[in-house]
A and B are shown apart, each in its own frame.
Chain A
Amino acid sequence: MATVTPEASLNALPRADGSARYSYAGYTVTASVNGPIEAQRRDEHAYEAHVDVIVRPSAGVGGTRERHLEFILQSSLSQIILVKNFPRSVIQIVLQVESTPENAYVNTKLVQASLNLPIIPALFQTAVLALLSAAVPMKATATSTVVAVVSDDGSKKIVADPSPQDIREATSLHVLAFTSHDELLLSESEGDFTVKEWDGVYENAQKICCQTASKQDGIDMVLDDDASSPDMRHFLRSTLETKVASDLHWK
């Protein structure tokens, strides 16, 4: 499978404070960020800003699954946003899923109640990009990835950014997010795995999410077996650099 590189465009929506469109591994998500704006009475918090995350699925209306995704994203994003700087206000993040990977082999149902782990990195990445585009003060950026453990003739193989077919065959599926301080921000796993396997997954995911830091020594990690998987932190940086360069072009 040819790994396509992630693509993103910033400020795609003219009326929002910030917005981003991100597509990778079959997922396309558009996010808009408005904030800090005045909070309604019920959302108002005396000491910090309320982070409001809304996830809209590509088809149909959001159900319990979307509520759960919103809850996961909200608790992670409010950790990296400087919420204490904006008491009594709201930072609203709306995430619209535009497309999800299609697979002829996997039966797709419109309404599914089960947890949708592989979509979390796409949503998370888009939200971070949109927050950066809206210039919301943050204490760190974060990167996220999904990793599957696939049983391959008795031996376990770790696959980064698995396809729907891989996910179907996987014994376990893991989503991890790291902040730019290399701290584990989010970890969601399901399936059947051992502590040892989780360690392997952790190392793999850390490599994908935090690679730029280790590349600073000037050593290019060519020997990596998953060298094809993208370097998320570098991607985040280069996207913003391109944006800043084009914005300041008139100077």
Chain B
Amino acid sequence: MAATVPAPSLSFSRPTFAKLSPHPYLLTNLTDPENPCRTNGRAPHEARPVHIHTSSLAHANGSALVRTGDTTVVCGVRAEILPVTNIPQYRPREPSYGEEDNDDSADVDELKDYDLLVPNIELATGCAPQFLPGVPPTTLAQTLSTRIYSLLHSCKVVDPKGLRVWYTPPKETREEGAMEVDEAQEEEEEEEERKPELKAYWVLYIDLLFVSFDGNPFDAAWTAVMAALRDTKLPQARWDPDREAVVCSRSEEAKMALDVRGLPVACTATVFLEKEHGEDSGSSAERKSRHWILLDPDRLEESLCKETVTVVVDCSGEETKVKSIEKHGGTVIGRELMRGFIGVAEGRWQEVKEASK
């Protein structure tokens, strides 16, 4: 059989070509006259389908596993009690049992000042070749966690009302003689005594772990955070004045779902330029070479593209609300393209909404 080894050909196989010169490889695929597509077989504006699986972690209050192509991320939300006595610089709140409390800016401060949402991202060793074991968190991990943190606060997804643990002191037992007091006065006193006090907060630790990494980490991470928060159930908590501690009920039925507002969805794309090198030396007109906007890029595409755009939209209302725009690393996407891209993000929102059902 050894005799039938074919003569070594001078052309490379596809994987070899991709490894040796990735830029021309992707360019050739995109400019293929018969079937122009990306190296992963997708059209430029085609995103990978999202798969969401919730409640898979038993010990977390809420969890989600999100898969888009080969990017897999697990998110767990763990709630812990933070007594107000442990908060430095705590300012007591006026007791307003939630309903009439519409002061949004005060709510935001509460979440931010006391750090009630703590996201953390870990890019597991081996999820992609570039992540080495035993190194401090990479710039990518730190950047991602800042972006998730900012977006959690700027979108106001978590309602701080659901994180408060109130305590209403019971009516004092009175002596016989007190019963003779005037009715109106008693009512007044009752009001005075039964003023609820805020005793503790729930702190949500939102931990994300990338099991496998194939580009577009932010979209996957954000989808996982949203799915996990929507899945989160907090146990019934009450303040026990005798033990001076918060006591949680064990019963499953008494668990309350966390109030999550809206469904913001992140949508990322990168810009692939025709010219790899030498774009510097050229007049302004010449620099406008061809480009492709690649939605939901994979790892190969991310390594070849510099300009990235991420748009977070929420189409839950009648009008599309843009929650965040992040664009850097290039000058291709201007005003018109950005407007068009927000339209693309709306399409992505529908897909993610379908998947999160």
Interface residues of A (CB under 8 A from B): 47, 63-65, 67-68, 70-72, 75-76, 78-79, 82-85, 107, 109, 113-115, 139, 168-169, 174, 179, 181, 183-195, 198-199, 202
| A194-B319 in contact (CB<8A) | yes
CA distance A188 to B308 in the complex (A): 12
Count contacts between A and B, CB distance < 8 Å: 116
For the complex formed, measure the closest distance between the CB of B257 and the CB atoms of chain A, giving whole angstroms: 24
B331 an interface residue at 8 Å Cβ cutoff?
Answer: yes
Instruction: Give 18 CB contacts A-B under 8 Å.
Output: A65-B146, A67-B143, A67-B146, A68-B143, A68-B147, A75-B308, A75-B329, A76-B329, A107-B109, A107-B113, A113-B146, A114-B150, A114-B153, A115-B147, A174-B325, A183-B331, A184-B331, A187-B327
B71 within 8 A of A: no
Residue interface bits B311-337, CB-to-A below 8 A is 1, else 0: 000000001111111111111011100
Question: A168-B105, A179-B331, A181-B284 are contacts. A191–B338 as well, Cβ < 8 Å?
Answer: no
Expressed in whole angstroms, the Cα–Cα distance for A198 and B334 within the complex equals 12
Q: Assess A113 versus B145: contact at CB under 8 Å? Given A75-B306, A85-B280.
A: yes
Residue B205 at the chain A interface, CB threshold 8 Å: no
Does any Cβ of A come within 8 Å of B303's Cβ? Answer: no
The 9 A-B residue pairs with the shortest CB-CB distance, nearest first, are A183-B331, A115-B150, A75-B329, A67-B142, A189-B325, A68-B146, A64-B142, A187-B327, A190-B154
Residue among B145, B146, B153, B333 having the largest count of chain A Cβ atoms under 10 Å: B146
Contact A193:B105 (CB < 8 A) given known A64-B146, A67-B139, A185-B331: no
In angstroms, Cα B148 to Cα A113, docked, is 10
Complex Cα–Cα for A192 and B149 (A): 16
Q: Which residue in chain A gives the minimum CB-CB distance to B343?
A: A195
> Which single residue of chain A is at the shortest CB-CB distance from B278?
A84
Which residue of A83, A181, A186, A193 is within 8 Å of B328 (Cβ)? A186
Q: Which of A63, A82, A168, A190 contacts B150 (CB 8 A)?
A: A190
Q: Does A188 contact B325, Cβ atoms closer than 8 Å?
A: yes
| Chain B min CB distance to A242 (Å) | 28
Interface residues on B, range: 35 or more
**A-side contacts of B211, CB under 8 Å:** none
Residues of chain B with a CB closer than 8 A to A67's CB = 139, 142-143, 146
Q: Confirm or deny: B339 has a beta carbon within 8 angstroms of a beta carbon on chain A.
A: yes
User: Which B residues contact A (CB, under 8 angstroms)?
Assistant: 105, 109, 112-113, 139, 142-143, 145-147, 149-151, 153-155, 277-280, 284, 306, 308, 319-331, 333-335, 338-339, 342
Say whether B321 contacts A184, CB under 8 Å: no
Considering the chains assembled together, what is the distance between the CA atoms of A114 and B113 in angstroms? Answer: 11
Q: Please give, as numbers and ranges, the residues of chain B lying within 8 Å of A68 by CB-CB distance.
A: 142-143, 146-147
Query: Which secondary structure dominates where chain B touches chain A?
Result: mixed
Closest chain-A Cβ to B345's Cβ sits at a distance in Å of 11
Chain B residues contacting A83 (CB-CB under 8 Å) are 280
C-alpha spacing A107/B109, complex, angstroms: 9
Tell me which of A71, A186, A202 contacts B143 (CB under 8 A).
Answer: A71
Task: A71-B139, A82-B280, A192-B321 are known; give 14 further A-B pairs, CB within 8 A.
Answer: A64-B142, A68-B142, A71-B143, A75-B328, A76-B328, A79-B330, A84-B277, A139-B280, A169-B105, A174-B325, A181-B284, A188-B328, A189-B322, A198-B338
Q: Would you give the shortest CB distance from B116 to chain A, in whole angstroms?
A: 12
Does the CB pair B327–A184 fall under 8 Å?
yes
A154 → chain B closest CB, angstroms: 15
Which chain B residues lie closer than 8 Å to A190 at the CB level? 150-151, 154, 323-324
A75 to B324, CA, bound (A): 19
Q: Name which residue of chain A comes closest to B314, CB basis.
A: A192
Question: What is the chain B residue whose CB lies nearest that of A174?
Answer: B325
